[in-house]
Structure formats: C-alpha cells, structure tokens
Amino acid sequence: MSKVLIPLADGCEELEAVTLIDLLRRAGITVTTASLSAQRQLTASRQVGLVADCLLDEVINNDFDMIVLPGGQPGTDNLNNDERIHLLVTQFQQAGKYIAAICAAPIVLADAGVLSGRHATSYPGALDPQKWSDISISNDAIVMDDFILTSKGPGTAMDFALLIIELLTDKTTRDEVEAGLVRS
C-alpha cells in the first residue's frame, strides 16, 4: 500500500487539497495530512476550515512514497518559507521518490532546486521564466518529468489526482475511482 504525505499550510487552496486527499483515499492509498503549524486546524485560502491528521513534526521522519504540495496563496508562500518542506522535497529527490506540486506550489520545488533542468507547469505566471531560466516551463495541464509531477491549478486537480493514483497503484484502480466520480 502506497503512502502519501500532503503537508497543509494556512492559506492552501482547499479545492486542490481536498480533491487530492479524497481521490487518493478512494483508491486505497494511505494519505497523511500534516499541518505545518503547531495546531492541526488551519484555514484555507477561501476561509474554509481544515483539520490535518497530525502535525508535520510528528511524521517528518516517517517513510512515504510520495509528497504532494497543494498550491494556493498564501499557502504556497507558507510551504516555501518552511525549511522542513525544502528538506523533505530534497530528500524525496535524492531517494528517487515521487514529488508532486499543483498550482503555485511548483515554486517550492523550484526554490528547493529540484526542478532545475526539468520540465514543469504551474498556475499561469507562478513560475517566472526569467527567475528560473533553467526550468522548461510548459503550459500543459499536467507535466511529468521522471518522478516529478506538476499541475496548473484547481481545474486540473481531479486529473492530477487520477494520474497520481495510476502511478501509485495501476490503471484499473484509476479507472474504478474515475468511474465512481461520474465525470461524464
């Protein structure tokens, strides 16, 4: 069973966070949400209250197969200003484990240095090509470059989550979860 860490920061984009958590759990993936702050309760970007499973410090040394960063503002800035997140992202990169970020959160990956020489996408304008000239910035909804996945924003969250499900389980599980969503 795959294990995914989703760090939650005050000001995160709730649609992205909840979509990722919900769909991955529907697929039977063990998802741990961890608050960056000293309390489990946080307020998302549109004043929606969220409660994390635990605090980041409680699970920072646990073994996960993937880390997924929701975007939103000021959530992305809060993730980016937390050196524990940069440390985790770097450790995942060194271990060859999956790293995923959506919306503005690819900024965190860029600042941590894991997008250098890679292809990525983000919320329009979040990744500045002048600041990060060593990143090939795409306008695609989802970009996968080796073990790093990036996606554009709230509108791409469902497809992003389904791709993660397929990577961590298989296409059959992805298709079963998608069928249950009645998207068409």
DSSP readout, 14-39?
HHHHHHHHHHHHHTT-EEEEEESSSS
CA 94 distance to own-chain centroid: 18
Q: pTM to 2 decimals?
A: 0.97
Question: Residue 182: left if φ>0, alpha if ψ -120 to 50, beta else—which one?
Answer: left
* Rounded percentage of the chain residues whose pLDDT exceeds 90: 98
29-81 pLDDT tens trace:
999 999 999 999 999 999 999 999 999 999 999 999 999 999 999 999 999 99
CATH 3.40.50.880, domain 3-181, yes or no = yes
Task: Check whether 184 has a pLDDT greater than 90.
Answer: no
pLDDT bin (cut points 50, 70, 90) of residue 21 is very high
Over 109-155, what HEC string results? HHHHCCCCCCEECCCCCCCCCCCCCCCEECCCCEEEECCEEEECCHH
* pLDDT for the residue numbered 93: 97
- pLDDT at residue 181, rounded to an integer: 96
Residue 40: strand, helix, or coil: coil
Residue 180 has a pLDDT of 97
**pLDDT (tens digit, 9 = 90+) per residue, 109-163?**
999 999 999 999 999 999 999 999 999 999 999 999 999 999 999 999 999 999 9
103 catalytic per annotation: yes
Hey, is 106 helix, strand or coil? helix
pLDDT at 13: 98
How would residue 104 be classed by pLDDT, with cut points 50, 70 and 90? very high
Residue 11 pLDDT exceeds 90: yes
pLDDT given at position 10: 97
d(CA 148, CA 71): 15
Q: Where are the domains of the chain?
A: 3-181
183 band by pLDDT with thresholds 50, 70 and 90: confident
Q: Pick the catalytic residue: 103, 149, 161, 168?
A: 103
